[in-house]
Chains A and B, each alone.
Chain A
Amino acid sequence: MRNFRRAVRITVFLILALWLHYVMPQRDIARVTSTEVVRTDFSALNRIFFAQADTGATDNPSRDLRFINTERKATYLFGLIRGGNQTMVYRNEDTGWIYPPYFKFDSADLQAEAGAAISTAEPYDWVVITHYGWRIRWLSIYPNAVSIRPAPSEEYRPIPWGNIIIYIALIAGALFLRAMWRQFRERTLDPLADRAEDRMDHVQADFAERRGRVRRWLDSWKSK
Chain B
Amino acid sequence: MNFVRLVVFGFLFLSVVYICVSLYSRSVRREKLEAEWEETRPEGIHRDAFVKEGMKEYETGLRKRLILLVYIIPLIAVGAIIYFVN
Residues of A within 8 A of B45 (CB): none
Q: Which chain A residue has the least Cβ–Cβ distance from B31?
A: A187
Interface string of A100-120 (1 = CB under 8 A from B): 011111100100000000000
Contact across chains for B5 and A183 when beta carbons are under 8 A apart: no
B16 interfacial by beta-carbon distance below 8 Å = no
A97-B2, A97-B3, A98-B2 in contact; A183/B24 too (CB < 8 A)?
yes
- Sorting the interface of chain B by its residue count into under 10, 10 to 19, 20 to 34 or 35 or more gives 10 to 19
A96-B2, A147-B85 in contact; A101/B31 too (CB < 8 A)?
no
Contact across chains for B86 and A55 when beta carbons are under 8 A apart: no
Question: With the chains together, A146 CA to B82 CA distance in Å?
Answer: 12
Contact across chains for B24 and A184 when beta carbons are under 8 A apart: yes
Q: Which listed residue (B5, B78, B85) contacts A98, Cβ 8 A?
A: B5
Sample of 17 A–B contacts (CB below 8 Å): A52-B2, A55-B2, A96-B2, A97-B2, A97-B6, A98-B5, A98-B6, A101-B78, A102-B81, A103-B85, A103-B86, A104-B85, A104-B86, A105-B86, A183-B27, A183-B31, A188-B27
